[in-house]
A and B are shown apart, each in its own frame.
Chain A
Amino acid sequence: MLLVNFPSIEGCRRLSEEFKAAFMKDFRSYIRYPAWLIGDLVSTPLWYFFFAVGVTLFAPTTQTSEYHGSSFFFFGFIFIVLFSTIIWGVGQSVRNEQMAGTLEQFFLAPANRLTLIMGRWARIFVTDLLVIGYTAVLFRLFGGGPLPLYEPALFAFALGLFEVGSVGFGVLFAGLTMKLKSYTTLSNLIFFGYMILTGALVPVNVIPLPYRYVCLVIPFTYFIDLMRHAALLTPTILPESLEYLTGIIVAVIMFLVGLITFNWIEQDARVRGSIATN
């Protein structure tokens, strides 16, 4: 069901229509509640400001040319925003339908599950870009320093890998919400684990050694490292070409594992009759 109709032209056309419909449905829900937009525009820069001011206390009192803390930290903020999309956007999409009592209609529709979830992802991704851009303007206005992007094409490629892997992870998580009802605690723990252990906010090489091994087995560490390398020319963990190859393989594996797991959980939930249980 997940990959239905995909190879044919008709299938592709149908997929694009489903995607557009799913995107518009989520977009309409979003703009129906202006508080969501206001919340995004206020909360996201505040999170950044909250941490940035705290961290500034540790910075040298006289700034040197080698000091790239603010831009490094700003990119960390971007990585966190993107991941939060996956956890609370893609991951929670099924749970939201379940809570609203519309999950059965969602699953009964003659449409591809993945396309419906991707529609939600796309809407949140667009909103994220808006919020990141808006925060970047505030960052510059308040004297936050330069925000370099030395290799834009490579950055876009690394971002693409991040998104492919993340969507797989998000879909897997969306499936888990059909099994686990106490979703919030798990999502919070994963989110904070991500912030601390993937090198989003600090370079992996400053993380103490026993924990660094954990960082190195988390796929997101490499996506983040590649994006930061492309943006700020920081050194990569692995040799550059090897790290890109690793990133591609890991992203594809995460995507496939996410799809297969989601499919399996959905089938299991159908058999047990637990799809609508909330």
Chain B
Amino acid sequence: MVSGIKGTFGVLAAIFWKGMKHYVRYPGSLLIYLMLPFLFTMMILGMGSFIGGGNAVFNFAARTGSSNVLVYEMLGGAVWMTSWVVVEDVGVALRDEQMKGTLEQNFLAPVSRFTLLVGISLTDIAITTVIFLVVVGTTLAFTMPGAYLGFFQAFLMLLIGLIPLFGLGFFFSGFVIKFKEPYIFTQMVNLIFGTLTGTYYPVTILPYWVQFLSGVLPQTYVISNMRQIILANQSLVNLYGSIFILLALAVVYPTFGYLVFKKLEKDASVTGELSKY
């Protein structure tokens, strides 16, 4: 088993570059991730303008507290897309290996499962950073060019939020190996995330029981805090309460996700599910 800092870093770097090569080889998927927040926001704005008419922005501001519709929606869209990437990549990565017939080689390599999963996640840190820089950076450059300090804090918010998200990715990864059918599953999960975390609306307009579910998802805090930072001039210090919750989730989700992954992987190796697709 590869051990030691140098060995582990070597493995992580190898997995990271493998993931990056996939994105470079198939640039269409990254292009879609970059375009979707703009497309979804355009659709929401178009439909909203039609329904609200001349008072659309006023109605929006009355419900959300912000009249900067574009930035409000793009922040939600960008965070949703980062969670989409993590679910699609970390959650489905091992299933893809299974489909290609290379999962056994990966699992037989002298590398711990945790290192394998973290390596896959590292690629996603790079990809989500690109998404954030392009989607949010472009939007702010055109609408709020002076908000670079808020932009930087929002990016830190995203990085904190990625840790629990990777934990969810570990969970899905084991789940997908066990139950197969990853694409239907990931589509449902992505939609549930988009709906529950307030991607295009504040979660406070959802029913109370739904808000409870929103409260256990890290993206809810990331989206809300980013909007507070950029649109309401709050700082990370002022938002310590929700950052504390995010840090707690950053401990709970990876631990929980990895335990579930190990359990499902063990079950699959006993029943021979690993080689089935």
Cβ-based interface call for B237 (8 A): no
**What distance in Å separates the Cβ of B194 from its nearest Cβ neighbour in chain A?**
5
Q: Knowing A49-B195, A59-B52 are in contact, say whether A185-B32 is a contact too (CB < 8 A).
A: yes
Q: Knowing A43-B191, A58-B59 are in contact, say whether A182-B26 is a contact too (CB < 8 A).
A: yes
* Complex alpha-carbon distance, A207 and B55, angstroms: 17
- A57→B63 contact, CB < 8 A: yes
Cβ-based interface call for A105 (8 A): no
Q: Knowing A55-B47, A60-B55 are in contact, say whether A185-B28 is a contact too (CB < 8 A).
A: yes
Q: How many A-B residue pairs have CB under 8 A?
A: 115
* Complex alpha-carbon distance, A163 and B260, angstroms: 46
Cβ-based interface call for A184 (8 A): yes
Bitwise, A49-65 to B at CB < 8 A (1) or not (0) is 11101111111110000
Residues of A within 8 A of B62 (CB): 61
* Complex alpha-carbon distance, A39 and B180, angstroms: 13
Q: Interface with A: B36-44, B119-127, B239-247, which one?
A: B36-44
Taking a contact as CB atoms closer than 8 A, the residue among A33, A50, A69 that contacts B191 in the complex is: A50
- A60→B59 contact, CB < 8 A: yes
- A47→B191 contact, CB < 8 A: yes
**What distance in Å separates the Cβ of A228 from its nearest Cβ neighbour in chain B?**
13
Bitwise, B198-209 to A at CB < 8 A (1) or not (0) is 011100011000
* Complex alpha-carbon distance, A72 and B83, angstroms: 31
Identify which of residues 22-79 in chain A touch chain B, using a CB-to-CB cut-off of 8 Å. Answer: 33, 35-36, 38-39, 42-43, 46-47, 49-51, 53-61, 67, 69, 73, 76
* Complex alpha-carbon distance, A196 and B206, angstroms: 27
- A42→B43 contact, CB < 8 A: no
Cβ-based interface call for A232 (8 A): no
Identify which of residues 20-74 in chain B touch chain A, using a CB-to-CB cut-off of 8 Å. Answer: 26, 28-29, 31-32, 35-36, 39, 42-44, 46-52, 55-57, 59-60, 62-64, 73
- A58→B56 contact, CB < 8 A: yes
Of all chain A residues, the one with the shortest Cβ separation from B195 is A50
* Complex alpha-carbon distance, A39 and B200, angstroms: 23
Bitwise, A166-205 to B at CB < 8 A (1) or not (0) is 0000000000000000101100110010011000011100
Of all chain A residues, the one with the shortest Cβ separation from B72 is A57
Q: Is the interface of A mostly helix, strand, loop or mixed?
A: helix
- A54→B50 contact, CB < 8 A: no
Cβ-based interface call for A9 (8 A): no
Residues of A within 8 A of B39 (CB): 192, 195-196
* Complex alpha-carbon distance, A202 and B44, angstroms: 10
Q: Knowing A43-B187, A50-B191, A51-B44 are in contact, say whether A58-B28 is a contact too (CB < 8 A).
A: no
Extra A-B contacts (8), CB below 8 Å, given A57-B48, A202-B49? A42-B188, A46-B188, A46-B192, A55-B51, A69-B50, A182-B28, A196-B43, A203-B50
Residue ranges of B at the interface with A (Cβ–Cβ < 8 Å): 26, 28-29, 31-32, 35-36, 39, 42-44, 46-52, 55-57, 59-60, 62-64, 73, 179-181, 184-185, 187-188, 191-192, 194-195, 199-201, 205-206
Closest 7 CB pairs of A and B: A58-B48, A185-B28, A54-B200, A39-B184, A58-B52, A69-B51, A35-B181
Residue ranges of A at the interface with B (Cβ–Cβ < 8 Å): 33, 35-36, 38-39, 42-43, 46-47, 49-51, 53-61, 67, 69, 73, 76, 182, 184-185, 188-189, 192, 195-196, 201-203, 206-207
